[in-house]
């Protein structure tokens, strides 16, 4: 916050009626975020709706330039085009914007922040702070304590991404298509490009014909390097959409500068912020979407030596995290807390 501002800011949520917007409301309430006023913005078709917050029904307004006057902190989750149009307006009126879209993430003058990793980057903001891609946050938050102790040289990421990453409409399509499949009824998918029930497919973003990587994979690669401050880190990603309603899973294999053991990884993660070890070999119980859904921490397990690397420098593990929480809303609110 800029000097002279009230300790209790005016907070605005842009995209308040969307899946992430609803979670932003919940995070602000659960974490007792101090605010003097909350403004909820969405598209014109949502005007007239109300959303509950701290026992009150807060009206939803259409996002306009005038409505942003007097806002101190803007939490934007309304898509890249909306962010590009309205985030600079909010900043010009004195707000700091935490933006959940991809609009500003790779801008050199915009910090890309995971508070457990690089909170100091927030100080360099010029009015806009970018919230990273959900798959990137869930993948790399558990890696940071390891990277700090034994630098990661190479990282291979394979994601299992839930419908929540594509928004409320995709979650509804998964539910409805699954019901139709079980009833033996035909269902025509309209939100995602392929049938979703009992199916999985490459992430539904455009594939670069030169690299062969889709946009989601490219985001994860580039954002990992920026957040870690490692522009030359060797990273590869394969992003897949799976028929799970909520919470992404990720398979991680990484190579470090020096030999590393599973015991060292467990010790490094045992007290690390934002993560929880779920690694019961005896019961074959490891991170799952059903356990990560609705939870703040990222679950980490399947921690084992990568037997394909005889040098002992590599580890494989599996993580699960709620895309709507730590992958989006919670991370944004944590950034806003740092601003206070």
Q: Given CA atoms 207, 208, 209, 211 in this order, what sign does their dihedral have?
A: negative
CA distance 287 to 138: 12
DSSP secondary structure string, 286-317? ---HHHHTT-SSEEEEEEEE-TT-TTS-EEEE
What pLDDT, on a 0 to 100 scale, did the predictor assign at position 7? 73
∠ CA 170-175-180 to the nearest 5 degrees? 120
**pTM of the predicted model as reported, rounded to 2 decimal places:** 0.94
pLDDT at 2: 41
Q: Residue 307: which residues within 8 A CB-CB, separation 6 or more?
A: none
CA 34 to CA 260: how far, in whole Å? 43
What are the residues facing 155 on neighbouring strands? 235, 254
Which domains are present in the chain? 10-132+328-339 (3.40.50.720), 137-323 (3.30.360.10)
Report the interhelical angle of 330-339 vs 19-30 (nearest 10°).
50
- How do the pLDDT tens digits run along the chain, 340 residues long? 443 445 799 999 999 999 999 999 999 999 999 999 999 999 999 998 999 999 999 999 999 999 999 999 999 999 999 999 999 999 999 999 999 999 999 999 999 999 999 999 999 999 999 999 999 999 999 999 999 999 999 999 999 999 999 988 999 999 999 999 999 999 999 999 999 999 999 999 999 999 999 999 999 999 999 999 999 999 999 999 999 999 999 999 999 999 999 999 999 999 999 999 999 999 999 999 999 999 999 999 999 999 999 999 999 999 999 999 999 999 999 999 999 9
Q: Which of 203, 248, 256, 313 is flagged as catalytic? A: 248
The predicted pLDDT at position 311 comes to 97
Residue partners of 233: CB distance under 8 A and separation at least 6: 152, 153, 154, 155, 224, 225
Catalytic residue, candidates 134, 239, 249, 256: 134
Q: What's the pLDDT at 112?
A: 98
User: Residue 112 contacts by C-beta under 8 Å, 6 or more apart in sequence?
Assistant: 105, 106, 121, 130, 132, 223, 226, 227
Q: Which residues pair with 281 in a beta bridge?
A: none
C-alpha–C-alpha distance, residues 104 and 226, integer Å: 13
Q: What's 238's DSSP letter?
A: E
* 248 assigned to active site: yes
Report the Cα 66 to chain-centroid distance in Å.
29
Query: What is the distance between the alpha carbons of residues 38 and 202, in angstroms, rounded to a whole number?
Result: 39
313 is catalytic: no
Give the full edge-to-edge strand order of the sheet including 275-277.
201-202, 234-241, 152-161, 248-256, 314-321, 298-305, 275-277
Report the b/e string of 283-317 with b at 16+ CB within 10 A: eeebbbbebbbebbbbbbbbbebbeebeeebbbbb
């Amino acid at each position: 916050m800029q000097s002279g501002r009230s300790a209790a800011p005016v907070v605005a949520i842009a995209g308040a009626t969307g899946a992430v917007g609803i979670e932003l409301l919940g995070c602000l309430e659960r974490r007792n975020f101090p605010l003097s006023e909350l403004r909820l913005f969405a598209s014109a078709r949502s005007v007239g709706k109300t959303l509950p917050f701290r026992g009150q029904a807060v009206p939803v307004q259409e996002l306009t330039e005038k409505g942003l006057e007097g806002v101190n902190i803007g939490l934007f989750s309304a898509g890249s085009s909306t962010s590009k149009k309205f985030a600079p307006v909010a900043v010009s009126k004195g707000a700091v914007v935490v933006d959940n879209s991809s609009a500003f993430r790779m801008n050199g003058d915009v910090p890309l922040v995971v508070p457990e990793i690089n909170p100091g980057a927030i100080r360099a903001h010029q009015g806009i702070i970018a919230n990273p891609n959900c798959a990137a946050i869930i993948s790399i938050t558990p890696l940071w304590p390891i990277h700090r102790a034994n630098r990661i040289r190479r990282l291979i990421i394979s994601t299992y991404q839930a419908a929540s990453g594509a928004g409320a409409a995709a979650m509804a399509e998964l539910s409805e298509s699954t019901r139709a499949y079980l009833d033996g009824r035909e269902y025509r998918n309209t939100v995602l490009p392929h049938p979703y029930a009992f199916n999985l497919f490459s992430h539904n973003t455009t594939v670069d014909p030169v690299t062969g990587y889709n946009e989601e994979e490219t985001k994860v690669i580039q954002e990992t390097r920026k957040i870690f401050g490692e522009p030359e880190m060797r990273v590869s990603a394969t992003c897949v959409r799976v028929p799970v309603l909520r919470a992404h899973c990720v398979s991680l294999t990484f190579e470090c500068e020096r030999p590393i053991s599973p015991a060292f990884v467990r010790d490094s993660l045992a007290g690390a912020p934002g993560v929880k070890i779920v690694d019961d070999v005896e019961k074959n119980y490891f991170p799952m979407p059903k356990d990560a859904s609705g939870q703040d921490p990222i679950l980490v397990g399947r921690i084992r030596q990568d037997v394909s690397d005889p040098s002992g420098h590599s580890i494989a593990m599996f993580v699960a995290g709620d895309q709507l929480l730590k992958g989006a809303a919670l991370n944004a609110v944590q950034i806003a807390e740092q601003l206070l």
